[in-house]
Amino acid sequence: MRQLLGVKAPPEKVVVRADLPRALAVRARAPGAPPRPASDSASPLHWPLDDGGFVTRGQVQAGDPAESHPGIDIAVPTGTAVRAAAAGVVAHAGTDPAYGLFVLLRHIDGYETMYGHASRLVVREGDSVVAGQVIALSGSSGRSTAPHLHFEIRREGKSLDPLTVMKREN
């Protein structure tokens, strides 16, 4: 490329340094371990990944839906097992322009959980699932720039922040 542009000398080294905040590291439980008994939290929901992942974007509630981010994004490698946060029924499983391949689960007490940007779905609409069951494999489908899980929690139609309502397993 330098020859095509007529540049004969190698370019000087350029060092770019940016002090960015680090992503929140969340470790839910050891890889492959079954879900553990819940803590004293009132939420019946569990973290949807064996290897916690890194939360790269949190929930943002804004008046303009285009500026809102109703869930959290958790960076994980493509093909990571995505698990049901609680027992429930698959209300929807399919494709969406924004969320790509996604699963929406309905749970007791008015809870719903949504899992987006999957590379593969392993459940279908109408399936019953148990807490911790693999429902999808993570990916980067839909409007996504890198492999991750987009995870939402809703209760009675209201979006909740997963980081404040989830049972934490250390």
- Percentage of the chain beyond pLDDT 70 is 64
Residue 129 CA: distances (Å) to CA of 31, 59, 72, 147: 20, 26, 22, 24
pLDDT in tens, 50-69: 877 777 755 555 555 555 55
pLDDT in tens, 1-52: 434 445 444 444 434 343 434 344 444 444 444 443 333 345 578 889 987 7
Domain ranges of the chain: 24-165
Mean pLDDT of 103-110: 94
φ, ψ of residue 86 in degrees (nearest 5) = -165, 165
Structure tokens given for 167: 């049972």
Query: What is 27-95 written as a DSSP string?
Result: --S-TTPPPPPP-S-S---B-SBSS--EEEE--B--SSGGG-B-SEEEE--TT-EEE-SSSEEEEEEEE
How far, in whole angstroms, is CA 138 from its chain's centroid? 8
**C-beta separation of 105 from 88 below 8 A:** yes
Q: What is the pLDDT at residue 158?
A: 86
Whether the model clears a pTM of 0.85, i.e. scores above it, the answer is no
Q: Which fold has domain 24-165?
A: Glucose Permease (Domain IIA) (2.70.70)
Residue 161 CA: distances (Å) to CA of 8, 63, 70, 113, 127: 55, 16, 8, 11, 26
